[in-house]
Structure 1
Amino acid sequence: MKQEQRVLIFMVIVFAVMWMMMPQTPRKNGSKTPRPGATPALMSGDATTTGSKAQMAATSASPASASRTAPDEEGGREVEAEAEAPGEIIPIRTRVFDIGIDTRGARPRHWAIIAPEYTAKQAGPDGNGAIELIPQIVRQDAQRDLPLEVTFKEKETRSFARLNSVLYDCRLTTATDGATVLRCVSQPVNDLRLIKTYTFRPDSYVVGLEIQLENLSESPLPRAIREDKLGFGLTLGPGIGQYDPARSNRTSGVSYTHGAVASDKEVFDLSPGGGKTLERYLQARWIALKNKSFAMAVVSPGETTRLSAAVALQRTRNELPRDLAKTQSPPYTIIAYTAPLEIPTSGVASLNYQVFAGPMKRTIMDGVGYGFHRVLFHNSWGWFRWLCLAMMSALDWFHQWSHNYGIAIILLTVLVRILMYPPTHYGFKLNAKTQMEMAKIKPELTAINEKYKDDFQARNKATMEVYKKHGINPMAPLRGCLPMLIQIPIFFALYKILDVSIDLRGASFLWIHDLSMPDRLFMLPFTIPLLGWNEFNLLPILMALTTVLTQLLSTTQINDPNQKMMLYMMPIMLLFMLYNLSSGLFVYWITSNIWQAAQQAITNRIVKREVHPAPA
């Protein structure tokens, strides 16, 4: 097998694996409503009702498309609600959060992480380092969708959508354990009052949320709440993460949003493609929206409480600005529903949730419980996910020892190369030995090609006889590549953990100010046409040079100019394709290349002594 054929096969395998592991970006189409008449699987829940018991279920539905509508008093139809001015913003500040709750709808209008361990070195879009989790790139008015809205209605009759837009009477208190409690009571809507109670603890990324539905009418609230037999709905989204123009599109949290829903045993991806609404009819434990580094989730804490989920692309009124629409995906909304509720006369139904909003760090997510850490790499294969988690734990351990993530990445790379030394050494040795043996028989092969240039069968037979005479296995080059294929999953696991690690944000190393960003050694006085580069990144150039070095050392016997040209093609392609890759990934890549070059050089010397022993 010729060298260019081996390179071509290797590149095909690499790009195939990259494509399989790459999250699919959804198209920018409108959302669709779920299929009508779908029946969810029901399970008793811990939602309590004064005078009767409610049930929680698992199902799905479209976005809160009715959240801005109100019932027509004459015909029971839904008509568009009148625009209303925003209410008062109640500030909530803990050590980790800076949150603003709007008294109109009792919904969070902004929700920022301010924990110093994540913001001290982080320059956000507003310049203060706060990491905003509610996208502020969509339409900014009282009519926009916000997280933790409610959506439900009676079958073919009254709608309660105005509960997201009426004024609430909100009172702040401090609990005996130091928690901040915000209790918001709505104005009545169609003889129903909604009470939201938020509980914020000083150092916790988990917020308690109790929702009470108080029936003010003289008749029970019917059990069949919706035409599709769904009950009370609570929304997450639209989207998560603020677009930061200082970061590249690749690192933008908006365009890399995924949804997930989990039962006690499995986690399902809820990221739609082609504008479709995905539906998951199951008994769920939690639902989540996440970008590369952060997540927001609604957790069902009871032993038997279950949620349900659907994810959909956001409605037209929340479309992205035109200048962002070309690079950013429409934000998702996930809705969790209960089973149909039945609230007796003057009764109260209570629903308890936990809301997580924070970084996707294993130690923090373990504190949430209920298997919430499973949202990490949830859309990866099972064995690959465990490989990523193991390497993430190793990276954290090396950081605890070195106190620098750049050094931790280098140590992790060295550990991986040591563990992979036996198969790579075998592959390097076999490849080097085969090249030297092929160089010895090259004159014979050239003569055969000239002699039988018009007779393929005769040429092939003569070539095999030469291989047999010299004891050369024609499949040896392929055998030499197989041990190195073992490294591909490890490479992509390292790629993935370094790409999503929250701890690399703002972490410095040598001249690098932020390992989650390109190294940006200095700004260019111009923009390179077509490429759009206006910054000089040194690391991708070093990566390309070290890759060329490893290629030259692994192909010492190649003299054909065409084959030599192939050696330079892939590094140059990688340079252009990955120029704006994060610095942490390049630190790994360059370290790995240097190790490989040294190992290959040593192996070449060993093989040379074996093939050409020194005279006695």
Structure 2
Amino acid sequence: MDRNSITGIVLITVILGFFWWINKPSEEQQAEQQRRRDSIALVEKVRLEAEAQADAARKVEAEQEVVEKDPATIAAEKASKYGFFASAADGQQSFVTLENNLIKMKISTKGARIYSVELKEYNNHEGNPVVLMHGDQNKFGFYFTHSNRNFHTNNLYFDVASTSSDKADFVVNAEEGQMTFSYTLPDNSYMADFNITTRNMASIMSTNTGSLGIEWNMRMDAQEKAPDFERQRSGVYFKYDQEDVDHINAASSDSEKLSTKVQWVAFKDQFFSSVFISKDNFLSGEVSTEAPEEKSDELIMNAKALVNVPYSGNDNLAFQFYFGPNDFKTLKPFEEEYQLRKLVYLGWGPLRIINLGVIEVFHFFEGFISNYGLIILLLTILIKLLLFPLTYKSYVSTAKMKVLKPQIEEINNKIPKDKAMERQQATMALYRKAGVNPMGGCLPMLLQMPILFAMFQFFPASIELRGEAFLWADDLSSYDSIFQLPFEIPFYGDHVSLFCLLMSITNIVYTRINQEMTQSSQQMPGMKGMMYMMPVMFLFFFNNYASGLSYYYFISTLITIGQTLLIRRFVDEDALLAKLNANKKKPSKKSKFQQRLEDMQKQQAQAGKKGKRK
């Protein structure tokens, strides 16, 4: 900093200090301000004391009024207010627990609803048991009208009619009518049976549509250590009757009307689901997701569903709840009837077909290898071996282009830059005579792309990797971190993922090798730098993704580099050039692709000449 800057700062400080001094209140003014503050505080104190005395008086009066009323009067007032549900309007909440070797289901007498579900074999990222429903933060039941008053079963107190080790019945009596909620939890199962029975309730519980609307709201908290990543793979899923499964994602707030029959509705996070199933289908409904304002929030979403079921007053409504992992093997028994395997999102169309095969191979390796890092390694090697013919064909096609580069450069030197169309036609003629397909190097790579994208869907959906450690990664289903940053980098995060870093480095090396094979003096300016942008983008894109996915891409690219270097040792470029030169002397036939390309070039050239004449 120079002398003038220092002098300026000092002068500004002096001026500001002078103005503060001349505008400072006098002692009399300060005393007056203090008196005003004291007066305001005194008035506020008197007001609060008066309100407290009034509240105490009202409380005493209310207590005296209750004491003075006899039980008959109180009962009459409750009956007038709540009708036949007066005895269920007030009560003390208690709990009944159904438990097997897989889950512990806690049911509240208030609403006869499932209060919480604990999965015994799974823990969240903090080491606590996975809980799929969180007490008073969820709501379940149906609403109806009685005595011109709106009721919701979530707020009624049920009596425990009977309990056993695997079953509990809850009942509400209303004069001659009765409503029963029954839960049954079989041993060794994530599926619980739930039945609603109503008897003589048609005149007591009235609805306008001849159906009951069952409301299910649930707060879904993060189970994994990367909430935003988990949120992208969560949502509300639903299956239409005789149709496929659809969903709305939890990444943003959304809703959807279910205008036709629906078989089930599921609140799903990355690895676990709570599914409400109707054995006779829901008539219609609406589902919605409410995403948190802060994406880093531990809340994944607030999920809501409103589904309608037929109602006559004398009904036996049969449902089921599935509370468990999104595991292909666990969901297999329910696939034929409910297609619950669609909760494991494996991509659309061809990607899902590829991943179904990958899952079978994955489970095969799982049968005799316990280390999932080694399973991923073997899976990668197997995939690369299957794709090796395409890799070899792609390399040979690129090598043909490489050995013809001197001849292409000669064409470019003969034909001026302003005659780009003539250059292209001459180059295509050279390729045709030599028997080279310009797309030969691209097509094999394009055929490999579906597998690349399929793996992108497979690893984040594989619950088998959850909590499995390998090398420095403590959980292959989440990101690996070798260093925690003291700040957060936009689009990158607050940690350094080593598998992601290794993947990016190997992609840069592979890009370098490819450029050596395809470099040309006619390469567009800046294209060389653009080729390196994708590996750098991988560094940002995959830093928060599943480490198993980054590990797979790292090993896959490493094997591809090894295959490329191996093929290079066995491909004699001089012999390849000699063969191509020999092909040039033979009469050649144009492929349909080359013929169409040349016809297009001629049409463009003619159009260009006409434009110049005008």
Fold-level match, TM-score > 0.5? yes
Q: Which of the pair has the greater relative contact order for Cα pairs under 8 Å at 6+ separation?
A: 1
> Residues 427 and 529 from structure 1, CA distance in 2 versus in 1: closer, same or farther, beyond 3 angstroms?
closer
> Residues 377 and 158 from structure 1, CA distance in 2 versus in 1: closer, same or farther, beyond 3 angstroms?
farther
The answer on 1:587 being equivalent to 2:551 is: yes
Question: Which string of whole-angstrom CA distances, capped at 9 and with x for unpartnered residues, describes residues 82-130 of structure 1?
Answer: 9989822333333211332222111122212112xxx2xx4444x32x1
Cα distance, 1:356 vs structure 2: 0.8
The answer on 1:361 being equivalent to 2:336 is: no
Question: Is the 1:259–1:290 Cα contact (8 Å) retained in structure 2?
Answer: yes
Cα distance, 1:593 vs structure 2: 0.4
> Residues 479 and 106 from structure 1, CA distance in 2 versus in 1: closer, same or farther, beyond 3 angstroms?
same
Residue in 1 aligned with 2:439?
478
Partners of 2:288 and 2:567 in 1: CA distance? 55
Cα distance, 1:181 vs structure 2: 1.0
Cα distance, 1:378 vs structure 2: 6.3
The answer on 1:436 being equivalent to 2:370 is: no
Partners of 2:307 and 2:451 in 1: CA distance? 36
Question: Which string of whole-angstrom CA distances, capped at 9 and with x for unpartnered residues, describes residues 435-457 of structure 1?
Answer: 2322x225314424xx623x33x
Residue in 2 aligned with 1:184?
170
Residue in 2 aligned with 1:545?
505
> Residues 403 and 266 from structure 1, CA distance in 2 versus in 1: closer, same or farther, beyond 3 angstroms?
same
> Residues 571 and 273 from structure 1, CA distance in 2 versus in 1: closer, same or farther, beyond 3 angstroms?
closer
Choose 1 or 2 for highest CA Rg: 2
Question: Is the 2:82–2:147 Cα contact (8 Å) retained in structure 1?
Answer: no
Cα distance, 1:234 vs structure 2: 3.2
Cα distance, 1:220 vs structure 2: 4.9
What pairs with 1:323-342 in structure 2 (closer than 5 Å)?
323=294, 330-339=301-310, 341-342=311-312
What pairs with 1:321-470 in structure 2 (closer than 5 Å)?
323=294, 330-339=301-310, 341-343=311-313, 348-368=314-334, 370-377=337-344, 380-438=347-405, 440-448=406-414, 452-453=416-417, 455-456=418-419, 459-469=420-430
The answer on 1:208 being equivalent to 2:193 is: yes
Residue in 1 aligned with 2:141?
150
Question: Is the 1:89–1:102 Cα contact (8 Å) retained in structure 2?
Answer: yes
Question: Is the 1:105–1:165 Cα contact (8 Å) retained in structure 2?
Answer: yes
The one-letter code matched in structure 2 to 1:360 is N
Question: Which string of whole-angstrom CA distances, capped at 9 and with x for unpartnered residues, describes residues 292-321 of structure 1?
Answer: 2222222334xxx2223433336xxxx777
SS at structure 2 position matched to 1:579? coil
Question: Is the 1:288–1:296 Cα contact (8 Å) retained in structure 2?
Answer: yes
The answer on 1:296 being equivalent to 2:286 is: no
Partners of 1:429 and 1:85 in 2: CA distance? 80
Question: Is the 1:429–1:604 Cα contact (8 Å) retained in structure 2?
Answer: no
The answer on 1:232 being equivalent to 2:212 is: yes
The one-letter code matched in structure 2 to 1:184 is F
What pairs with 1:481-496 in structure 2 (closer than 5 Å)?
481-496=442-457
The answer on 1:516 being equivalent to 2:486 is: no
Cα distance, 1:261 vs structure 2: 1.6
Question: Which string of whole-angstrom CA distances, capped at 9 and with x for unpartnered residues, describes residues 365-384 of structure 1?
Answer: 12235133342456943443
Cα distance, 1:607 vs structure 2: 5.1
> Residues 230 and 329 from structure 1, CA distance in 2 versus in 1: closer, same or farther, beyond 3 angstroms?
farther
The unaligned stretches of length 5 or more in structure 2 are: 1-77, 580-614
Aligned pairs, number? 492
Q: Which deviates more, 414-423 or 328-337? A: 328-337
> Residues 75 and 366 from structure 1, CA distance in 2 versus in 1: closer, same or farther, beyond 3 angstroms?
closer
SS at structure 2 position matched to 1:508? coil
The one-letter code matched in structure 1 to 2:244 is E
Question: Is the 1:114–1:131 Cα contact (8 Å) retained in structure 2?
Answer: yes
> Residues 271 and 474 from structure 1, CA distance in 2 versus in 1: closer, same or farther, beyond 3 angstroms?
farther
SS at structure 2 position matched to 1:184? strand
Residue in 1 aligned with 2:542?
578
Partners of 2:352 and 2:101 in 1: CA distance? 32
Residue in 1 aligned with 2:69?
none
Partners of 1:567 and 1:337 in 2: CA distance? 55
The one-letter code matched in structure 1 to 2:221 is Q
Question: Is the 1:405–1:507 Cα contact (8 Å) retained in structure 2?
Answer: yes
SS at structure 2 position matched to 1:95? coil
Partners of 2:338 and 2:396 in 1: CA distance? 45
Residue in 1 aligned with 2:158?
168
The one-letter code matched in structure 2 to 1:523 is Q
The one-letter code matched in structure 1 to 2:375 is A
Cα distance, 1:208 vs structure 2: 1.0
> Residues 269 and 101 from structure 1, CA distance in 2 versus in 1: closer, same or farther, beyond 3 angstroms?
same
What pairs with 1:46-195 in structure 2 (closer than 5 Å)?
87-115=93-121, 119=122, 122-125=123-126, 127-128=127-128, 130-134=129-133, 136=134, 144-146=137-139, 149-153=140-144, 161-170=151-160, 173-174=163-164, 179-186=165-172, 188=174, 193-195=178-180
The one-letter code matched in structure 1 to 2:305 is I
> Residues 106 and 320 from structure 1, CA distance in 2 versus in 1: closer, same or farther, beyond 3 angstroms?
farther
Residue in 2 aligned with 1:554?
514
The unaligned stretches of length 5 or more in structure 1 are: 1-70, 77-81
> Residues 375 and 612 from structure 1, CA distance in 2 versus in 1: closer, same or farther, beyond 3 angstroms?
closer
Question: Is the 1:428–1:554 Cα contact (8 Å) retained in structure 2?
Answer: no
Question: Is the 1:163–1:186 Cα contact (8 Å) retained in structure 2?
Answer: no
Partners of 2:291 and 2:404 in 1: CA distance? 62
How high is the sequence identity, in percent, across the aligned residues? 21
Residue in 1 aligned with 2:573?
608
Partners of 1:537 and 1:124 in 2: CA distance? 18
Partners of 2:459 and 2:425 in 1: CA distance? 47
Partners of 2:504 and 2:292 in 1: CA distance? 37
Cα distance, 1:572 vs structure 2: 0.7
What pairs with 1:267-282 in structure 2 (closer than 5 Å)?
267-269=245-247, 277-282=255-260
Residue in 2 aligned with 1:33?
none
The one-letter code matched in structure 1 to 2:325 is P
Cα distance, 1:432 vs structure 2: 2.5
Question: Is the 1:275–1:313 Cα contact (8 Å) retained in structure 2?
Answer: yes
> Residues 520 and 180 from structure 1, CA distance in 2 versus in 1: closer, same or farther, beyond 3 angstroms?
same
Question: Is the 1:150–1:161 Cα contact (8 Å) retained in structure 2?
Answer: no
Residue in 2 aligned with 1:534?
494
The answer on 1:306 being equivalent to 2:281 is: yes
> Residues 434 and 208 from structure 1, CA distance in 2 versus in 1: closer, same or farther, beyond 3 angstroms?
same
> Residues 528 and 269 from structure 1, CA distance in 2 versus in 1: closer, same or farther, beyond 3 angstroms?
closer
Partners of 2:358 and 2:428 in 1: CA distance? 43
> Residues 462 and 506 from structure 1, CA distance in 2 versus in 1: closer, same or farther, beyond 3 angstroms?
closer
Partners of 2:90 and 2:538 in 1: CA distance? 53
Q: Which deviates more, 533-542 or 365-374? A: 365-374
Cα distance, 1:391 vs structure 2: 1.5
Q: Which deviates more, 534-543 or 365-374? A: 365-374
> Residues 371 and 390 from structure 1, CA distance in 2 versus in 1: closer, same or farther, beyond 3 angstroms?
farther
> Residues 270 and 73 from structure 1, CA distance in 2 versus in 1: closer, same or farther, beyond 3 angstroms?
farther
Question: Is the 2:236–2:287 Cα contact (8 Å) retained in structure 1?
Answer: no
Please give the root-mean-square deviation of Cα atoms over the aligned residues, in Å: 3.7
> Residues 275 and 512 from structure 1, CA distance in 2 versus in 1: closer, same or farther, beyond 3 angstroms?
closer
Residue in 2 aligned with 1:62?
none
Cα distance, 1:165 vs structure 2: 0.8
> Residues 398 and 351 from structure 1, CA distance in 2 versus in 1: closer, same or farther, beyond 3 angstroms?
same
Question: Is the 1:286–1:300 Cα contact (8 Å) retained in structure 2?
Answer: yes
Question: Is the 1:270–1:311 Cα contact (8 Å) retained in structure 2?
Answer: no
> Residues 308 and 124 from structure 1, CA distance in 2 versus in 1: closer, same or farther, beyond 3 angstroms?
farther
